[in-house]
Chains A and B, each alone.
Chain A
Amino acid sequence: AQSVTQPDIHITVSEGASLELRCNYSYGATPYLFWYVQSPGQGLQLLLKYFSGDTLVQGIKGFEAEFKRSQSSFNLGKPSVHWSDAAEYFCAVGNSGGSNYKLTFGKGTLLTVNP
C-alpha cells in the first residue's frame, strides 16, 4: 500500500530564509507526487506535481521540489520565504495504476514564518 511520511510536524523559519519541507513516500511503481498547501479556512491548493521527466519541478509561488527515486523523497523548497507562505503543507502520492488515481496524503507540516 502506498504511504507518505512528512517527518516534520511544525517548522518555523524567518522571513527571507530558505525552506525545505521533507517528504518520503512508499510506492511500488513510479509514483505521481504532489505538494498541496492549505491556508487556514481554505481548501487544498496544488503547488506542484511530478509525473515523469525532469526530476526538479517548479511550482507556483516560487516553490520547487526534487524527486529522488533512490531516496524515495520529494522534498519541497523555496529560496526565500515570505510571511504569506505560513500555512500547512501536504505531500501526497497518487497511485499510477490507472487514470482514476486516488491521493494518499502525509500528515502535513505546519509552517510558521517569523518577521
Chain B
Amino acid sequence: EPEVTQTPSHQVTQMGQEVILRCVPISNHLYFYWYRQILGQKVEFLVSFYNNEISEKSEIFDDQFSVERPDGSNFTLKIRSTKLEDSAMYFCASKEAWLQGALETQYFGPGTRLLVL
C-alpha cells in the first residue's frame, strides 16, 4: 500500500540554525500539507500546498517557514532560523485530487521529531 514517507525521523539542531524536513507524498496525490504537534498538545495545521503554491497557511507559518516541491516527488518544509519553540513532531500529509461527491483522505507520514537546543 502506498504511504507517505518522511526524513529524517529525528533531527536535533541548535537554535538559529536552518532545518529542512523532507516528505515524499503518495505519488498520484496533488494536495500536500504540513502539520505539527508540540509535545503534549494537539496536532496543528501549518500549511497546505496545491498546484505549486501555498493555498492556505496558519498564523504559526510565519516568514521563518517555507515550503517547496523541488522535483515533483519531494515536498519540503524549511525553517530558516529555528527557535526553541519550534521543537515538535512535524507531520506531512497528502491527498489525491478532488472527487465530486467524495471525501478524499489525508494520509499522514510517520513524522519528524525536531528538537531545537
Chain A residues within 8 Å of B, Cβ to Cβ:
32, 34, 36, 41-46, 49, 51, 90, 92, 94, 99-100, 102-108
Q: Which secondary structure dominates chain A's binding surface?
A: strand
Residue of A41, A43, A102, A106 touching B48 (CB-CB under 8 A): A102
Given contacts A99-B98, A103-B106, A105-B44, 13 further A-B contacts (CB under 8 A): A43-B91, A43-B108, A43-B110, A44-B43, A44-B91, A51-B102, A90-B42, A92-B43, A100-B55, A100-B56, A103-B45, A105-B42, A108-B43
Report if B65 contacts A (CB, 8 A).
no
- Is there an interface contact between B48 and A100, defined as CB atoms closer than 8 Å? yes
Q: Which residues of B are found within 8 Å of A41, using beta-carbon distances?
A: 110
B21-42: contact bitstring with A at CB < 8 Å (1 yes, 0 no)?
Answer: 0000000000101010000011
